[in-house]
């Protein structure tokens, strides 16, 4: 994979044939899940990808079938599932992560986080598999301290428009904790901060994809509030490496682990960087802040550094260049298809 040479991570070693694993990735056709599936196949594992395709796309995983070790199954994790044969590891990435998409059907979002977690935990218990929950920095809500360590309990509105996602993820963490405590299940919890990169959907609704698509199409860049709220942006290759290291960590590491880039940028700074990297002449336009929009978001990754020997290595500008090139190709291809139809 290109990042093994370019970005300098000491990647986890490949598996020998005698240690070949079967790994299930729920939400594997999504932005993050497809990159994870790709890396797991690269290390020599057999991968079973589950996705209901509500936000995931077959285009993200079409190239993976060539390996002969990749299986796709369309399935919604809120329904019980049966997998024949052994399963060694389970990654639960099954849930929309962008506010416009998880707010579209808040009941299903909440069910995905809770019922989906329980169904996958039951599968892990039946298979004797270790299991990782993709939680989120949203469990910290609109934080009162910065950076946010895993010990911070958060400032979350339980009845706001983001609650279906925030509270669903918090409940999923509780389920993972209890399954580990009561049944001895080997559980891992990753609290993921803002992640970006190729294969994000053009209509994803998160700030990086919004700004890039708006800049490339010559539209105004919509900045909410004055753009003084801060975010920390982690390139997808870095994040996938962190997930895999957490899954491979010692059994006694059960506490949540922050995974994200501690580099902190205001939203306005991000907009200006995107304009510079794209060469766009788009303007910045200020709109009202959404309800419960966090003012500050920055991970304390001391635990990840200590326990996983992990920290992100991809600079924001470099990661944005890869992401911009991806969106540029997607938009050009879409324009060609529309021209052919007309």
Catalytic residue among 91, 165, 179, 196: 165
Question: Is residue 165 annotated as a catalytic residue, yes or no?
Answer: yes
The rounded distance, in Å, linking the Cα atoms of 106 and 3 is: 36
By three-state DSSP, how is residue 121 classified?
Answer: helix
- Where residue 211 falls (left for φ over 0; alpha for ψ -120 to 50; beta otherwise) is alpha
The rounded distance, in Å, linking the Cα atoms of 108 and 77 is: 11
List % helix, strand, coil for the chain (3-state, nearest 5): 45, 15, 40
Using CA atoms, how far residue 38 sits from 47, 60, 274, in Å, is 9, 10, 27
Residues in the chain, overall count = 342
Per-position b or e across 219-255, b if 16+ CB within 10 A of its CB: eebebeeebebbbbbbbbbbbbbbbbbbbebeeebbe
The rounded distance, in Å, linking the Cα atoms of 330 and 83 is: 35
Q: Which residues are catalytic?
A: 165
């Amino acid at each position: 994979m290109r990042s093994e040479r370019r970005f300098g991570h000491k990647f986890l070693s490949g598996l020998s044939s005698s240690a070949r694993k079967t790994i299930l990735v729920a939400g594997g056709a999504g932005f993050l899940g497809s990159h994870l599936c790709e890396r797991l196949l690269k290390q020599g594992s057999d991968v079973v990808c589950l996705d209901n395709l509500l936000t995931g796309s077959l285009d993200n995983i079409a190239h993976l079938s060539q390996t002969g070790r990749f299986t796709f199954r369309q399935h919604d994790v809120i329904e019980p599932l049966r997998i024949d044969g052994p399963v060694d590891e389970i990654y639960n990435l099954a849930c929309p992560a962008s506010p416009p998409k998880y707010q579209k059907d808040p009941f299903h979002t909440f069910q995905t986080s809770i019922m989906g977690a329980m169904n996958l935990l039951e599968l892990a218990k039946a298979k004797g598999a270790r299991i990782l929950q993709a939680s989120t920095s949203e469990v910290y809500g609109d934080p009162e301290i910065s950076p946010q360590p895993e010990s911070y309990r958060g400032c979350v509105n339980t009845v706001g428009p983001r609650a279906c996602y925030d509270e669903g993820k918090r409940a999923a963490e509780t389920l993972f904790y209890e399954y580990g405590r009561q049944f001895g299940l080997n559980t891992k919890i990753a609290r993921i901060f803002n992640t970006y990169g190729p294969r994000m959907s053009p209509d994803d609704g998160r700030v990086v994809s919004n700004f890039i698509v708006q800049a490339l199409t010559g539209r105004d860049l919509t900045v909410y509030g004055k753009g003084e709220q801060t975010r920390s942006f982690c390139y997808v290759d870095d994040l996938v490496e962190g997930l895999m290291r957490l899954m491979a960590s010692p059994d006694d590491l059960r506490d949540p682990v922050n995974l994200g880039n501690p580099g902190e940028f205001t939203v306005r700074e991000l907009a200006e960087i995107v304009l510079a990297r794209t060469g766009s002449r788009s303007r910045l336009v200020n709109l009202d802040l959404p309800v419960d929009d966090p003012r500050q978001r920055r991970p304390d990754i001391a635990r990840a550094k200590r326990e996983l020997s992990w920290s992100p290595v991809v600079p924001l500008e470099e990661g944005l260049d890869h992401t911009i090139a991806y969106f540029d190709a997607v938009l050009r291809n879409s324009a060609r298809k529309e021209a052919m139809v007309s």
